Structure 1
Amino acid sequence: MILGHAATTLVAKRAAPDMPWWLLLVSAFLIDIAMFTFVGLGIETMEPTGGSPSLSNAIVDMTFSHDLVPQIGWTLLAGAIAFVVSGRRLFALIAMALSLGHWLCDLVAGYGHFVFGPDSHPIGTDWYHLNLTAALTFEAALGVLCVFLFTRGKSYSPSAQIGLYGLFGVLPFAFLVI
């Protein structure tokens, strides 16, 4: 899930309009930031299995960034960052919800995860490998719901609304051809 994580920041922005976008995005993508850092350091892996790279043919090991046990720490870290930066408990709670929400959405529409490491109990659907269309459909549906909640009762121009619905409700399907 990629755009779906960004879509969740729309709902968070609606709940806390004065929370900075950068803080919302860092909170929503904290475990992916950790994953790409760990991949760069050689601690975790994300490699295509042949042919052209795609979401469905990658071998991934995200033990320290995406498994259940480390997620507890990432959720707390997201809240701590938000609280240190803003001094506001509401921002810390929203940051924690975005970080945990990222992980929960990945369980439905992402790579398979484990409790802690590949030798532990597997959790999640692993739809990126098993049913990429279902994963992207879930992501698009989440995006549409988030846009609806963000724009509900507000006066956004029709072109802005079409753009948001297109970005979060249609663009995820581009990953079927990339």
Structure 2
Amino acid sequence: MEIKNLTVFCGSSAGTDDIYIENAETFGEALANKNKTLIYGGAQVGCMGALANTSLHHGGSVVGVIPQKLKNVEIAHEQLTQLHVVETMHERKSKMADLADGFVALPGGAGTLEEWFEVFTWAQLGYHAKPCGLLNVNHFFDPLIAMLDHTIEQGFMNEDYRQMLLIDSDPNALLEKMDAYTPNYAVKWT
């Protein structure tokens, strides 16, 4: 199934290494070049801003979703194809999920991880059949991947769920994996 609308979770900060902004820009360009609509948190700062600006610069369609409370804190991007201002974080996540055909996390903080884990959990529980990926820039997600493998080893996560997770350090390769994804729902309890 080809992904047309991709929700991307990433940091409103730039991180400590230029590679994070550079890869956000590369991912934004890849989305535009593949005619995929970027759905993201609506900010114009940090990796979020770099991602959106580059996608827009390359002719991409970019949809932002930002809570009213964060509109000034995260500095809402006013040059987007479309900007949805919602009341709560729950509404933000729900709107981004509803608009998406798939989900990717780029490096970010607790908010990025929380948003991505929610949609990954929904996939595990069968609430959606959309692919969930990680752009593993600069080995950023290696500790997280190791933790997920540890949860499997300790009997807290079905190994089939690990197979649902798409990971790559190359933006184009990750997008190809997203487009080629076939859902394989595993029953947790029998």
Instruction: Report the TM-score range of the alignment, normalised by the length of the smaller protein.
Output: under 0.3
TM-score scaled by structure 2? 0.26
Structure number with the higher strand fraction is 2
Q: Which has the higher helix share?
A: 1
Per the normalisation by structure 1, the TM-score is 0.27
Q: Which has the larger radius of gyration?
A: 1
